[in-house]
């Protein structure tokens, strides 16, 4: 099939590459010429395991094209996926300017039937706005070309995006019942048929329910994290090990183990903004989502938990103190720094007078870019952050190590070496990577999240 992907970011590039891998002919459009240049010269603008190979293979096979040419992209695909960003507006609602710009471009250039698929995470009712934006453009040039707007939210996880796309738990597709909707359903069924070979994974529903499903999923996951973080903070006070509790409740199949890890807060481009956007939608309908308000408040608080533990241990004034920081990306296997808890911690350290030596296996360049923006108000702060080539280098002469991202490479360090390099053997572990008892035996002062019963 001939497919166009509008927006070549984490979702768009993975969607385009994976659909090409299945034999489709895919045209990826982006407004950012830098991204398109990188892709056309054989590079990849983001870090995503397995993606580079798929992109290279399908480019070479002539099934995957990258361009900034809007008219050509609209002409190419029978199915047009909109996969542009939907960042939070000032009031927390999803900013639809990029989605609607993409829709208008489609309306401006289309000459035959198109299925327009909202793959971006968008609030309930957005398909109506997309439909109206296309209709306005068609009316402006007196065209009566038919089209259908479909909702097909994406559930991939950064860091495992290719695997998730190729082996999805479920595919959610919302179509309407018009003749155009029926035609769209047929094309979407054909496009996703390779994913449904062993068993049917597609949930067909109405458009609004599909739009809502994505927010419900992310809100649920964020809720589980904040729930555990709140309990972990209490566990620290009442002498309870949150990891024991996690095992104790996760074994109940009604609860399950996933997303029950206490830590230093969730970040990324999705949970924070999607929780906010759902709250915002509710407010438009005069409903207050009390649980989600708390989920957000708990998470904002949790991003400060490492900073608070450090201040409790070293005092409010950190002038002259130096910290090693392992992990900058908001989660492992990605270079994405959006809403990363490391940014909050570094701001607290620098504001309190400390210096830091930081290391992340893949996010160094992106971290430098983002931190320069974060500290635009005080550029001298960047001189107090040393970017290291490896985790060991970051440890040298630090008063403590803070772990912010649970990269696999951090799980089994050489503790003797770690002790010898740190000025004082203290670890603040924002991801509970280590066992407190083992740390005690090793002679390391250990501060986990919800595990202080052991220290
Ligand atoms: P991203 O910022 O990585 O990519 C968006 C891309 O769209 C950018 O490259 C940008 O230049 C481009 N763009 C903007 N306007 C455009 C236009 N008019 N025409 C062509 N290109 C345009 O964003 P992302 O992380 O891929 O997220 C995209 C959407 O998918 C968001 O709604 C997000 O919530 C959702 N989503 C993201 C993830 C994730 O893990 N990142 C997972 C599921 C859903």
Report CA 336 to chain centroid distance, whole Å: 7
314 lines ligand 1 (CB under 6 A): no
413 lines ligand 1 (CB under 6 A): no
The reply to whether CATH 3.40.50.720 applies to domain 303-454 is yes
The burial of 362, by beta-carbon neighbours within 10 Å (0-12 exposed, 13-18 middle, 19 or more buried), is given as: buried
Beta-strand runs (E) in 265-390? 322-326, 355-359, 385-387
Model pTM score: 0.95
85 lines ligand 1 (CB under 6 A): yes
> Rounded to whole angstroms, how far apart are CA atoms 265 and 270?
13
Per-residue model confidence as pLDDT tens digits over 347-394? 999 999 999 999 999 999 999 999 999 999 998 999 999 999 999 999
Q: State the Cα angle at 271 between 154 and 373, rounded to 5°.
A: 110
Report the residue among 6, 15, 83, 102 best suited for mutation to probe ligand 1: largest number of ligand atoms under 8 A from its CB: 83
* Cα 48 to ligand 1 centroid, rounded to whole Å: 15
> Rounded to whole angstroms, how far apart are CA atoms 367 and 342?
9
302 neighbors 296 (Cβ within 8 angstroms): no
Split at pLDDT 50, 70, 90, the class of 259 is very high
27 lines ligand 1 (CB under 6 A): no
The residues carrying an active-site annotation are 270
% the chain with pLDDT above 70: 100
Complex ipTM tops 0.95: yes
Residue 29 CA: nearest ligand 1 atom is 20
For 52, residues 6+ apart whose C-beta sits below 8 A from its C-beta are 44
Report the residue among 4, 8, 9, 159 best suited for mutation to probe ligand 1: largest number of ligand atoms under 8 A from its CB: 9
Q: Is 260 annotated as a binding residue?
A: yes
Task: Return the HEC string of 245-293.
Answer: HHHHHHCCCCCCCCCCCCCCCCCCCCHHHHHHHHHHHHHHCCCCCHHHH
pLDDT, average across residues 93-115: 97
Closest CA to 343 of 307, 312, 316: 307
196 neighbors 169 (Cβ within 8 angstroms): no
Q: Is 90's pLDDT higher than 90?
A: no
Q: Is 454's pLDDT higher than 80?
A: no
32 lines ligand 1 (CB under 6 A): yes
**Beta-sheet pairing, 400-403 with 322-326:** parallel
Sign of CA dihedral 50, 52, 58, 60: negative
Identical fold between 2-205 and 303-454? yes
Q: What is the DSSP string of 164-209?
A: HHHS-S-EEEE--SSHHHHHHHHHHHHHHGGGGSSS--EEEE-HHH
* Cα 121 to ligand 1 centroid, rounded to whole Å: 9
Phi, psi angles (nearest 5°) of residue 66:
-125, 135
Residue 94 CA: nearest ligand 1 atom is 32
Q: Where are the domains of the chain?
A: 2-205, 303-454
CATH topology of domain 2-205: Rossmann fold (3.40.50)
Hey, whose CA ends up nearest to atom 23 of ligand 1?
A: 85
Split at pLDDT 50, 70, 90, the class of 436 is very high
């Amino acid at each position: 099939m001939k497919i166009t992907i509008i927006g070549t970011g984490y979702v768009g590039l993975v969607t385009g590459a994976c659909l090409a891998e299945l034999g489709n002919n895919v045209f990826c459009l982006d407004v950012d010429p830098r991204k398109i240049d990188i892709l056309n010269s054989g590079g990849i603008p983001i870090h995503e395991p397995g993606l580079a190979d798929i992109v290279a293979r399908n480019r070479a096979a002539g099934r995957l094209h990258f361009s900034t040419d809007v008219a050509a992209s609209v002409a190419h695909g029978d199915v047009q996926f909109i996969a542009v960003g939907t960042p939070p507006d000032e009031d927390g609602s999803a900013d639809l300017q990029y989605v609607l710009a993409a829709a208008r471009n489609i309306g401006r250039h289309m000459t035959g039937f198109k299925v327009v698929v909202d793959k971006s995470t968008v609030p309930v009712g957005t398909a109506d706005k997309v439909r109206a934006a296309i209709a306005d453009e068609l009316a402006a040039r007196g065209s009566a070309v038919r089209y259908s707007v479909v909702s097909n939210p994406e559930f991939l996880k950064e860091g495992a995006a290719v695997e998730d796309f190729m082996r999805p738990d479920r595919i959610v597709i919302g179509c309407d019942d018009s003749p155009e909707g029926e035609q769209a359903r047929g094309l979407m069924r054909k496009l996703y048929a390779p994913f449904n070979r062993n068993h049917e994974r597609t949930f067909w529903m109405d458009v609004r329910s599909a739009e809502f499903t994505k927010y419900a999923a992310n809100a649920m996951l964020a809720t589980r994290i904040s729930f555990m973080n709140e309990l972990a903070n209490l566990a620290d006070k009442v002498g309870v090990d949150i990891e024991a509790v996690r095992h104790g409740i996760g074994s109940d199949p009604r609860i399950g183990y996933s997303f029950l890890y206490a830590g230093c807060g969730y970040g990324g481009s999705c949970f924070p903004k999607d929780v906010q956007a759902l709250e915002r939608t509710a407010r438009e309908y005069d409903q207050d989502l009390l649980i989600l308000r708390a989920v957000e408040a708990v998470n904002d608080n949790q991003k400060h938990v490492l900073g608070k533990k450090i201040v409790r241990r070293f005092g409010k004034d950190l002038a002259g103190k130096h910290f090693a920081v392992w992990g900058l990306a908001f989660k492992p296997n990605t270079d994405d720094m959006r809403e990363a808890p490391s940014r909050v911690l570094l701001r607290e350290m620098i504001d309190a007078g400390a210096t830091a030596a930081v290391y992340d296996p893949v996010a160094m360049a992106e971290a430098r870019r983002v931190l320069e923006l974060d500290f635009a108000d005080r550029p001298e702060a960047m001189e107090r952050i040393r970017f290291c080539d490896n985790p060991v280098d970051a440890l040298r002469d630090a008063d403590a190590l803070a772990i912010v991202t649970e990269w696999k490479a951090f799980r089994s360090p050489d503790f003797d070496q770690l002790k010898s390099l740190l000025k004082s053997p203290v670890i603040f572990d924002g991801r509970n990577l280590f066992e407190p008892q083992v740390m005690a035996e090793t002679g390391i002062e250990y501060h986990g999240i919800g595990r202080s019963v052991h220290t």
